[in-house]
Structure 1
Amino acid sequence: MSILQVNNIETFYGGIQALRGISINVNQGEIVTLIGSNGAGKSTTLKSISGLAKVKSGSILYKDKAITNKPAHTTTLLGMAHVPEGRKIFSTLTVKENLLMGAFSVNKKNLIDQRMEMVFEYFPILKSRIDQKGGTMSGGEQQMLAIGRALMMNPELLMLDEPSMGLAPIIVEQIFDIITKLNKDGMTILLVEQNAYQALSIAHRGYVIQNGEIVLSGKGSDLIENSEIRDAYLA
């Protein structure tokens, strides 16, 4: 069953067209990845879905409900969580305070506590750093915190923008292991990545974007074997 449908959207920054008729589909329970070079339109696609970038034309449906150009806080309340590129944690707040920011719409303390314990199950390091300020943590720990903050919303769809950016290879492996585990536990994931091999290795399906257009799509395993993809992104 489709949880997200993006239909022929076009998005501009001023007079510059960033997306040119982008259409993607994400089914419930899938990991779907969007790969491409810098400036191809990957991040803009996520921002258009979550309401952070204004769509000029086309439509976006989440669980068959129109969400085109809905404010970001509205899409969050519907069950979507967007972890932006660069992590964007609150550097002066502690780990606990950052996580609480992710539960801004939850009024029941016992529910907040349950979700925080769930986050700690995925990221035990965060529990040991609960009173540490986010800005003093390593890049990998900050990425874990950014994902943990999103999980506090208990999303059905988790959108991750470049979660491996700037991280050491061993930390990248840990992050992708967690993404896979989240998916096995039932979470649908839309993943934007420059690390094409890592992304396609765990994705059920993938889309390749160039200059704001989808130029290729297919199973993750098939795209890894595609000679054009290998030459452009996996060499």
Structure 2
Amino acid sequence: MTVLQVNNIETYYGAIQALRGISLHVDEGEIVTLIGSNGAGKSTTLKSISGLAKVKTGTIQYKGKEITNKPPHQTTLLGMAHVPEGRRIFSNLTVKENLLMGAFSVKGKDVIQERMEQVFTHFPKLKERLNQKGGTMSGGEQQMLAIGRALMMNPELLMLDEPSMGLAPIIVEQIFDIILQLNSSGITILLVEQNAYQALSIAHRGYVIQNGEIVLSGKGSELVENEEIKEAYLA
């Protein structure tokens, strides 16, 4: 089953065209990664899908339903969660308060507590830091909190934008292990990542974006061995 279908979308920032006919799809149970250089359009693609950036032409479907230019609070309620670049946690709120913000539409204290316990199975450190303000935690812990906040909505599709950015190598390994765990638990993942080798190593499929266009796609295992990819992104 195709969870996400993006058809020939174009997105602008004012007069500047950021995406030029992007088409991709993500099937149920997959990890699909989007790699490319800075400014290539990776983050704009995710923002266009989640409704943070307005699509000028083209269509986006989630589980067969048209969602083009639906606002983020509506796409979230459909079962999509977007963890933005830079984490964007609420620095002055505690870990618990950040997680509760992620459950803004969840009804029932028991359900919320159950979701929180599920988050703690993936991120036990968050339970230890429950009453600590988010802004006082390490970069890795903040990334865990950003993902945990998204998981409070029990998403079917999780979109991650640069989860390894600015993190120490050992923490990067932990984050990618967690991504694999989440996928094994049934969550479909669309991953934007500058660490191309790590991303392609865990992805079922990948897309390469340059100047707002998809220039190459294939299985993760194939792309990681592609000589052009190696030279451009893995050297």
Query: TM class, shorter-chain normalised?
Result: over 0.9
Deviation at 1:59, TM superposition (A): 0.1
Find the aligned partners of 2:175 and 2:195 in 1 and give their Cα distance: 12
Equivalent in the alignment of 1:208: 208
Alignment TM-score, normalising by the size of structure 2: 1.00
User: Which deviations, in whole Å up to 9, do the C-alpha atoms of 1:91-128 show, x marking residues without a partner?
Assistant: 00000000000000012000000000000000000000
Equivalent in the alignment of 1:104: 104
Alignment-mate amino acid for residue 157 of structure 1: L
Equivalent in the alignment of 1:161: 161
- What SS class does the counterpart of residue 125 from structure 1 fall into? helix
Alignment TM-score, normalising by the size of structure 1: 1.00
Deviation at 1:150, TM superposition (A): 0.1
Equivalent in the alignment of 1:177: 177
- What SS class does the counterpart of residue 111 from structure 1 fall into? helix
Deviation at 1:9, TM superposition (A): 0.1
Find the aligned partners of 2:213 and 2:223 in 1 and give their Cα distance: 17
Equivalent in the alignment of 2:114: 114
Equivalent in the alignment of 1:225: 225
Equivalent in the alignment of 1:38: 38
The answer as to 2:71 corresponding to 1:85 is: no
Deviant stretches of 4+, over 2 Å: none
Unaligned runs of 5+ in 1: none
* Equivalent residue pairs, number: 235
CA RMSD of aligned residues (A): 0.2
- What SS class does the counterpart of residue 46 from structure 1 fall into? helix
Find the aligned partners of 2:97 and 2:6 in 1 and give their Cα distance: 34
- What SS class does the counterpart of residue 225 from structure 1 fall into? coil
Equivalent in the alignment of 2:194: 194
User: Which deviations, in whole Å up to 9, do the C-alpha atoms of 1:135-160 show, x marking residues without a partner?
Assistant: 00000000000000000000000000
Unaligned runs of 5+ in 2: none
